[in-house]
Amino acid sequence: MAHSNGTSDTQALDALDFSDAEHREVVIIGTGPAGWTAALYASRANLEPLIYKGPEPGGQLTTTTDVENYPGYPEGVMGPDMMQHFEQQAVRFGTDARYGTVTDVDFSERPFRLVVDEETPILANAVIVSTGASARYLGLENEQRLIGRGVSACATCDGAFFRDEEVLVVGGGDSAMEESMFLTRFASKVYVAHRREELRASQIMQERAFDNDKIEFLWNTEVIDVLGDEQVEGVKLINNETQATWEKPVAALFLAIGHTPNTEIFEGWLDMDDAGYIQTKPDSSYTNIPGVFASGDAQDHVYRQAVTAAGTGCMAAIDAERWLSEHPLEDEAGSTKEASDTEKPAPAAA
C-alpha cells in the first residue's frame, strides 16, 4: 500500500492570490458517470456544487458508441448521448458545470485550495475526486481514429457486438486473459497478441486461457497498424524476432494493457496503491484527508463500469453532505461554517 508522502509542493499555489478566490461548499473534479452522479446528489442536497469537466468531458464513455449494459436504456444508448443526459439532469438541479481542468491542489487545511487551468484560484470546503482512469492504447494513428468502431479497451462493454466474429486482444496479463475468455462467449475466434513468448498472467489464468479452444496465442507479436476505413477490418502485425509482417482480418481490436488512473495531481496528498488508484476507506468514499472524497475509476481498478462509477459518485455526494453537516466552516462574513484549527487535515505521513 502506497501512502502519500506529505511533501507536496505548494509553490504554484502560493504564487496565486486566494484572498478574493471564489469559495464553494463542494467542488467536484471530473465529469464521467461518477462526477455527474455526485453532482446530481449534491445538487439535490442543496450543496450547489461546482464541477469542472476536465480534459476529457464525459470521461471514457465519450469514446464509446453503443452502451447496452446501463440500466434504463432498453434499446441501448450512445456513450456521448448518455453523458449528455447525465449532465442535463445534474444541471437541472443546480449544478454549476464549467469547462476547465484542476491542475493543482492544496489539501493541507480547509478551505482546500485548488487551481484551475494553472491560473484560476478556487476554495472548497469539500472536494469530490472523480477524475477517472485512462485506458492505455498503443498510440497508433488508425487505432485512435477507430476507437468505438471496433477498437475497444473494454471487452465487458463491447464484446457482445462481435458475435461469431474473429477478434484480437493485445496483452499478456491477468486482465488480458480475463478479457479474452469473456470474448469467447461471443466471438468465433479470439487471437491474443503478446510481445513476449511467455505470459505475465498468473498460472491459473494462463491455464484457463490455454485450455480454451477458441483462444489462439500469437507470441512475440505486436500490432503496428489497424486496418479499416469506417470500422476495424483487420490489423497489421509484426513478429519482433523475425521482423516478418502480415495482415490478419479481425472485426475488433481489444486493448488489455492496463489503465492509468488520472490522479497525478493528488500525489503526496491522497493515499494510493502502487498503480496510482486512490485508496478509500472500506464501504465509503472517504480518503485519508477528511473532507476529500473519491469516486469512480480513479479509485476502482476492479470493475471499471459506468454503473459502478455512478454508484460511487452517489456515495461520495452522500458522504460529503453528511461530513459537511458535521464539520461546518466559518465563511468570511462569520456565519457558522468552520471547523476548529485542530480539525484541519494535513497530508498523511509516509
Task: Name the residue type at position 122.
Answer: I
Phi, psi of 22 (to 5 degrees): -60, 135
In contact, 170 and 136? CB cutoff 8 Å: no
- Spatial separation of the C-alpha atoms in residues 220 and 243, rounded to whole Å: 10
Strand-pair partners of 247? 236
- Give the number of C-alpha atoms closer than 13 A to the C-alpha of residue 150, restricted to the C-beta side: 23
CA distances from 4 to 110, 272, 279, 300, 350 (A): 18, 7, 11, 18, 6
The alpha carbon of residue 189 and the mean position of all alpha carbons in its chain are separated, in whole angstroms, by 30
- Residue among 288, 285, 282 at smallest CA distance from 268: 288
From the list 106, 154, 300, 314, the catalytic residue is 154
Task: Confirm if 143 and 170 have CB atoms less than 8 A apart.
Answer: no
Of 104, 106, 158, 297, which residue is the catalytic one?
A: 158
Task: Mark whether 157 is an active-site residue.
Answer: yes
Q: What share of the chain is helix, strand, coil (3-state, %, to 5)?
A: 25, 25, 45
Annotated active-site residue 314? The verdict is: no
Active site positions, annotated: 154, 157-158
